[in-house]
Amino acid sequence: MIKEKIINLYNSILNIKKKYLYLFGIIVVIISSVFLLQFNNSTYNLVEVKKGSLVEEVSATGNVEFPTKIDLRFKNSGRLVLVNVKDGQNVSKGQLLAKQDTSYLDAQVLEMKAGIELQKAKLDQLIGGYSNEEITLSEIALENVKKDYINIKTQQETLVSNAYKNLLNSTPEALPSGGQSDYTAPTISGNIKFPSTSSTNVTEWTIDIPNKKASNYITNNNAYEAALKTQASALSSAQSLIDQKTAELALKKAPARNYDISVYEAQVDQAESLLQKIEAQRNELMIFAPSSGFVTKINGDVGETVSPDMTIVSFIPEGSLQLKLNIIEDKIVDIKIGQEAKITFDAIPNEKFIAKVVSIDLVETISGGSVYYQTTIICEKPDERIKSGMTANVLITTDISEDVLYIPTVAIQNKDGKKIVQVLENKKIVIKEVDPGIKNSIGMTEIKSGLSEGEQIVLSNISVPKK
């Protein structure tokens, strides 16, 4: 008896354990499923394609110096046509000191400016629409070509009718048996032979119409077919002119489309960009005073061909501070005289000072196995807090792009010689080729083509459970 109770108790305990084991197994399955599902759903580090302005800059460091003599040179060889100053002369900032031959670029600048004004006028006309007078003239022109069409149609119908009559006159024409007719019955003449002893009464004559055996049939038929072709061609040309004038009138009455406006604006922007490049090329043939100061020496005679390694004007800035920077060789190609630079000092936090590039050495400097080119910048409005010998951090602005698309530089990858990015579309990654432009100092790169504003760019793919 006691044995049976012990066995029954054991079985009860065992059944309870089995129930808990089943429940525990179900929980494990659920947790595992969720855990695996989360691991199968990758999360992405995304960034949006944005539109704005980018400034490309070259960074460098240097020490403040009191101004020393600056040697000013031309960038390229060329014929010297103007020396505008003398030794010892005081000059103001921006004053023209010397110039090479710029005549061919002057002509291009004038032509480009005229073209830009024309494009702007067309854009203004497109936006403002055509005047009432212009629309009225187009309406009159349309009515005139419609009248011309009627006149041409009448004229051609007459010519075809005359050609047809000529064709019929080459053969007899049948007359209706009853009713009236404007046609005159043809006269048939000729000879017919009968037996001498017989008499004949002919009441019916039969002849083919048209009579292709007539001597003038081919000539008259060709003329008739030519008249038909001429009629079709003349009417087609007149109708085409009506269609053209109708389309011109509709275009002048219709409001400007945003697409058309965008095309004209892009043409103006493109022309202005090209003008800036031509003017920059022309400025490279001129030497301007980088700041107020005085000329210590002039080299070169008008008419002489001068080279880039020849100092034309020696100049000392007035009341300025200067910095000499070592720019590495892969960045020096972007540096040009006249570019703006921003200077910051550790000793003067949260303040920026503006400077200009005034000279670039043609001879390299070797330091630590790398090639540098010494570049001089001057700060025209020094602060009394700035001391000689202070270390300065400099950003030279080399290019500016307005209203452009940009993304983080790290999102751009190289593949088979192409620049690509990963774009998330409908929860899938799509590879797109892009054309990058300038880069700024905080890791953003301009995208000239290949992307649209608002697209989601994948920076990285992270396979971790979502929280």
pLDDT, tens digit, 9 for 90 and up, residues 132-157: 888 899 999 999 999 999 999 999 99
Sign, CA torsion 117/123/125/127: negative
pLDDT (0 to 100) of residue 4: 52
Q: Is residue 143 part of a domain?
A: no
Q: Is residue 18 part of a domain?
A: yes
> Which tokens hold the place of 30?
């659920």
pLDDT (0 to 100) of residue 207: 60
Q: Which residue in this structure is represented by tokens 């989601």?
A: 456
Q: Is 370 helix (H, G, I), strand (E, B) or coil?
A: strand
CA angle centred on 445, ends 426 and 261, rounded to 5°: 75
> Which tokens hold the place of 358?
């005034």
What distances in angstroms separate CA 368 from CA 170, 197, 326, 328, 361, one per listed residue?
A: 108, 140, 12, 11, 19
Q: Distance (Å, rounded) from C-alpha 151 to C-alpha 147?
A: 6
Strand partners, 330: none
Q: Which residue in this structure is represented by tokens 């000793």?
A: 347
Q: Distance (Å, rounded) from C-alpha 201 to C-alpha 326?
A: 128
pLDDT (0 to 100) of residue 30: 41
Contact assessment for residue 433 and residue 450, using Cβ atoms and an 8 Å cutoff: yes
What distances in angstroms separate CA 237 from CA 223, 230, 329, 385, 444, one per listed residue?
A: 21, 11, 67, 83, 59
Q: Which residue pairs, CB below 8 angstroms and at least 24 apart, start in 135-139?
A: 135/249, 135/252, 135/253, 138/245, 138/248, 138/249, 138/252, 139/249
pLDDT (0 to 100) of residue 22: 45
Q: Is residue 277 part of a domain?
A: yes
Backbone angles phi, psi at 402, to 5 degrees: -100, 145
Count of CA atoms in the C-beta half-sphere (13 A) of 20: 6
> Which tokens hold the place of 328?
């590495």
Q: Is residue 228 part of a domain?
A: no
- Upstream peptide bond of 210 is cis (omega within 30 degrees of 0): yes
pLDDT (0 to 100) of residue 187: 55
Alpha helices in 301-433 (DSSP H): 329-332
Q: Is residue 270 part of a domain?
A: yes
Supply the angle between the helices 132-169 and 217-253 in degrees, to the nearest 10. 170
Q: Distance (Å, rounded) from C-alpha 185 to C-alpha 189?
A: 13
From the list 345, 368, 372, 362, the residue with the least C-alpha distance to 63 is: 345
pLDDT (0 to 100) of residue 110: 94
Indicate the pTM of the whole model.
0.49
DSSP-assigned letters across all residues of 108-146 = HHHHHHHHHHHHHHHHHHHHH---HHHHHHHHHHHHHHH
Domain that holds residue 121: 113-129+259-283
Q: Is 364 helix (H, G, I), strand (E, B) or coil?
A: coil
Q: Distance (Å, rounded) from C-alpha 333 to C-alpha 62?
A: 19
Contact assessment for residue 434 and residue 450, using Cβ atoms and an 8 Å cutoff: yes
Tally the domains of the chain.
Answer: 2
pLDDT (0 to 100) of residue 204: 64
pLDDT (0 to 100) of residue 9: 47
pLDDT (0 to 100) of residue 123: 87
Q: Is residue 124 part of a domain?
A: yes
Q: Is 9 helix (H, G, I), strand (E, B) or coil?
A: helix
In SS3 terms, 256-268 reads as: CCHHHHHHHHHHH
In the predicted model, residues of the chain with pLDDT beneath 70 are 1-42, 170-215, 319, 460-467
From the list 280, 314, 394, the residue with the least C-alpha distance to 98 is: 314
